[in-house]
Amino acid sequence: MVSPEARGMRRVLATIAGHRVAADVHLRPDDPRPPVVFLHGMLTSLAIADEVFVAPPEESWIAISLPGHAPGGFAAGHDPAAIDAELFARLIEGMLEELIGNRPVVALGWSTGGFAALALALFEPQRVVAVASFAGFARGRCAGAIGWLQWLARGAVGRICLHAGLRLGGSVPALHDAVVRLGAADAAAGAAVPAAVLARLRRDFARHDPGALVAMLAAVDRLDITPRLGEIAAPAWIVGGGRDPFVPREETERIAAGIPNAILRIHESAGHLFFSEWPGVREEFAAWRDGLAAASASP
């Protein structure tokens, strides 16, 4: 498996407010644009950041781990009840301060990372010049298999079962891959998930702390920033799958309607897995980002 360093990145680990936060950093000194900050989905990892760009080596970007996700982790004795939207934003902002000072960024997140990107734009508006959400949500109660995992995480017996199941998923590759494929629109789309992507996600999933993942599933289930979406002033591009089994299109549409002047894009026949089900999304993201740069350069 190719390491971050071999792919032209450097891995940074930092302690922010007592929590361990990880980042893969790929900054080009010849690129004056605000770098993209990528935030992955729950139960996934930094490894998915490569899938956002047409040509990752040519871009400036920073991928930051979600709270409790390896190679980061929660502070010892951390109270799961303290996991809220502001914590997401605080940890991301703390890492950015260490890496790039006060340099502005384009915040992009997938799934729970989409929630994190919106939270960053809400709580740290001076940092975010634009925000994009891929299959993200503002209200954290999900549908389908993820919703079922959240239901288990709400009860004592369910948490024990879920902990064991997550540990098993980290040791049985076929089980892990089957769960990832549940995010696709249908069985054919699930079977088309690239083997290389599955391998990267599988490697990192085995490193997660199941207890931290259970805490995150329970916490995200109760989060909701929908009433505050109107406070986000940054340009927003909100994208989702029309047949997403985890985040219904209605949630994507609700986010776009709540943010002033947001652009909405629905991939009608696609599910949750942007990297294999959303044709042209990399080129669309690049064009949207270029448009932001052109608009800011206009007199």
Dig out the tokens for 99 from the structure: 């890496």
pLDDT, tens only, 26-59: 999 999 999 999 999 999 999 999 999 999 999 9
Which amino acid would we find at residue 28?
R
Q: Determine the structural domain holding residue 212 and report its residue range.
A: 5-297
Q: What is the mean pLDDT of residues 182-201?
A: 96
β-strand partners of 224: 139
Between strands 10-16 and 19-26, the pairing is antiparallel
Residue 260 and residue 262: Cα distance in Å, rounded? Answer: 6
Query: pLDDT over 70 for what percent of the chain?
Result: 95
Give the model's pLDDT for residue 295.
Answer: 64
**What stretch of H or E contains 5?**
none
- The CB-based long-range contact list for 80-84 (8 Å cut-off, 24+ gap) reads 80/215, 80/218, 80/219, 81/219, 83/215, 83/216, 83/219, 83/220, 84/219, 84/223
Contact (Cβ atoms closer than 8 angstroms) between residue 216 and residue 66: yes
Helix, strand, or coil here: 62? strand
> Is the pLDDT score of 298 beyond 60?
no
Per the structure, the count of domains in the chain is: 1
> Is the pLDDT score of 272 beyond 50?
yes
Supply the CATH number for residue 85's domain.
Answer: 3.40.50.1820
Tell me the chain's radius of gyration from C-alpha atoms: 18
Give the model's pLDDT for residue 2.
Answer: 47
- Residue holding tokens 């729970």? 112
Edge-to-edge strands of the sheet including 128-134?
10-16, 19-26, 61-64, 36-39, 105-110, 128-134, 236-241, 263-267
**Residue 106, Cα to own-chain centre: how many angstroms?**
13
CA pseudo-torsion sign 217, 212, 43, 281: positive
Q: Is 277 left (phi over 0), alpha (psi -120 to 50) or beta?
A: alpha
Reported pTM: 0.95
